[in-house]
Amino acid sequence: MRHLVWFRTDLRVADNPALYEAAADDAEVEAVYVDCPGQWQEHGKSAMQRDFLSRNLQALNEQLAGLGIPLTVLTADTFSETPDLLVRWLEGRHFDALYANREIGIDERRRDKELQRRLSIPCRVYNGDCVLDHGSLTTRSGDMYKVFTPFSKTWLAKLRAGGYRLLPVPAAQAEALSSEPLSLSGERVSSDDWPAGEADAAQRLSQFCQRSLREYGERRDYPAQDGTSSLSPYLALGVLSPNQCLSAMESELGQLPFSRGEPGFVWLNELIWREFYRHLLVAFPRLSMDRAFRPETEALQWSRDDEGFRAWCEGHTGYPIVDAAMRCLNQTGWMHNRLRMIVASFLTKDLHIDWRRGERYFMSRLIDGELAANNGGWQWAAGTGADAAPYFRVFNPTTQGERFDAEGDFLRCWLPELAEVPARVIHSPHDWLDNHSPGHGYAKPIVDHGRARLHAIAMFDALKDRETV
């Protein structure tokens, strides 16, 4: 038996269902990866993540070579061209089946459906990106949950009852092969600050569990502290699986935390949020199509303030926590989760700019950009999504900064204009700067938060008025 494994967003050999099943019963296995640079651009993904993808693909190539599994990299410009490319490439090559792990975006699902229609061999697809398979958690009426809390309770109950399955690395099928260096084309920005390969991902996961898992709930909101896992870039490309996260957590704690208050539960809850957004993307394809989860919010009257949007992108809003967060994103390709909520709230509730513009900008910069989490987070902040923040919840950027960066340590890392400002005024530094540092160059606030908050609430109140007419 000869089986072909199609790697996609699952760049690992451990806990990889498609690879594991393909290698069962001593089948001979080959692997293929299809690069789609045009689709990458169409989806607006970042040059840094593309570099990280290239480096992790090379690491996968070396691991597969060690197992005696050859990897072929093909190129199709877009997903729509991929079925034809694969069908032509398979001509004259004898394989008994194609194995792959499911991808959940609408473009990916259309691509896979077309390929399965045209293939002359079976295509076997597995769940490789969630602990619990998409569609396996539903309400009593059979619908997907639209609110996180009941989804989370059902998810925990199913995990407690059935556990999870962690798959080993398949045995080597032959002597190790020599692997040729490979590199993806297209615009790339260095991702060297993030070690590539699943060995480094596993090491980072282990270190996080040993050092920070128990204190995660107390430390995760403070951007100046190293309190988060920083595993999202690896999860986004499938270099690391959520099952591996559960296994590391269980190994460190002795058991999984199923109740609030137990050590490690806050981090487990973050993994459940990840799964919630991925299940939603499958159940509601419109989320892949630039549409709001709550259809009535499509009538919101967003501002076309291009100057304000540019100031937000560049970190020149005059609100220090927003500016520091955006400059950090632009330079490193990563942003702390608390800061993501703050800057998303500022764009949508203070500047009243469409969440889709922020979603696209994040995707163009993030090393961990992936549709489900990025879309879910932005719609949560904007009040348009499933289980969204109430429309009257508008983060005050000044008090958020005072609460989560009280001494201004994070601000000083990214805002050299504020290096000498005392901590007591660093979150509202303008008067101090005018008096002590003429010509400082730091922007004045581009909007009055109090007035902007009232306007945001009025925008949503207008929706209710439309519904009652």
pLDDT at 3 > cutoff 50: yes
Mean pLDDT computed over every residue of the chain:
96
Confirm whether 71 is domain-assigned.
yes
Q: Are residues 34 and 148 in the same domain?
A: no
Range of the domain at 392: 295-468
Q: Are residues 440 and 305 in the same domain?
A: yes
Give me the pLDDT at residue 439, please: 84
228 annotated as belonging to a binding site for a ligand: yes
191 annotated as belonging to a binding site for a ligand: no
Q: Are residues 380 and 242 in the same domain?
A: no
| CATH number of the domain where residue 158 is located | 1.25.40.80
Here the tokens at position 461 are 């109140």
Give me the pLDDT at residue 387, please: 84
Give me the pLDDT at residue 370, please: 97
Q: Are residues 86 and 123 in the same domain?
A: yes
Give me the pLDDT at residue 183, please: 86
Domain boundary among 224, 254, 283: 283
Q: Are residues 323 and 341 in the same domain?
A: yes
> Is the Cβ–Cβ distance between 79 and 108 less than 8 Å?
yes
Confirm whether 174 is domain-assigned.
no
Q: Are residues 29 and 152 in the same domain?
A: no
pLDDT for 311-327, tens place per residue?
999 999 999 999 999 99
Here the tokens at position 295 are 């259809």
Residue in the block written with tokens 């919630």? 276
Give me the pLDDT at residue 469, please: 40
Q: Are residues 246 and 299 in the same domain?
A: no
Confirm whether 189 is domain-assigned.
no
Q: Are residues 142 and 273 in the same domain?
A: yes
Q: Residue 232 phi/psi, 5° resolution? A: -60, -35
Give me the pLDDT at residue 460, please: 93
pLDDT for 43-61, tens place per residue?
999 999 999 999 999 999 9
- The residue-averaged pLDDT of 234-262 equals 97
Confirm whether 233 is domain-assigned.
yes
Q: Are strands 71-75 and 97-101 parallel, antiparallel or unpaired?
A: unpaired
Domain boundary among 260, 283, 306: 283
pLDDT for 316-375, tens place per residue?
999 999 999 999 999 999 999 999 999 999 999 999 999 999 999 999 999 999 999 999
Active site residues: 270, 273, 302, 337, 355, 378
235 annotated as belonging to a binding site for a ligand: no
- The residue-averaged pLDDT of 431-450 equals 94
55 annotated as belonging to a binding site for a ligand: no
pLDDT at 392 > cutoff 80: no
- The residue-averaged pLDDT of 103-123 equals 97
C-alpha 100, offset from chain centre:
21
| CATH number of the domain where residue 45 is located | 3.40.50.620
Confirm whether 390 is domain-assigned.
yes
411 annotated as belonging to a binding site for a ligand: no
pLDDT at 133 > cutoff 50: yes
9 annotated as belonging to a binding site for a ligand: no
Q: Are residues 133 and 208 in the same domain?
A: yes
Q: Are residues 422 and 449 in the same domain?
A: yes
- Give the pTM: 0.96
| CATH number of the domain where residue 453 is located | 1.10.579.10
Q: Counting beta carbons within 10 angstroms of the beta carbon of residue 301, is it exposed (0 to 12), middle (13 to 18) or buried (19 or more)?
A: exposed
Q: Indicate the pLDDT class of residue 393, thresholds 50, 70 and 90.
A: confident
126 annotated as belonging to a binding site for a ligand: no
Tally of domains within the chain: 3
Q: Indicate the pLDDT class of residue 443, thresholds 50, 70 and 90.
A: very high
273 annotated as belonging to a binding site for a ligand: yes
230 annotated as belonging to a binding site for a ligand: yes
C-alpha to C-alpha distance for 73 and 84, rounded to whole angstroms: 15
C-alpha to C-alpha distance for 275 and 235, rounded to whole angstroms: 12
Confirm whether 320 is domain-assigned.
yes
pLDDT for 69-87, tens place per residue?
999 999 999 999 999 999 9
Percent of the chain predicted with pLDDT > 90: 94
Domain boundary among 283, 310, 330: 283
Give me the pLDDT at residue 269, please: 97
Q: Are residues 266 and 337 in the same domain?
A: no
Q: Are residues 306 and 275 in the same domain?
A: no
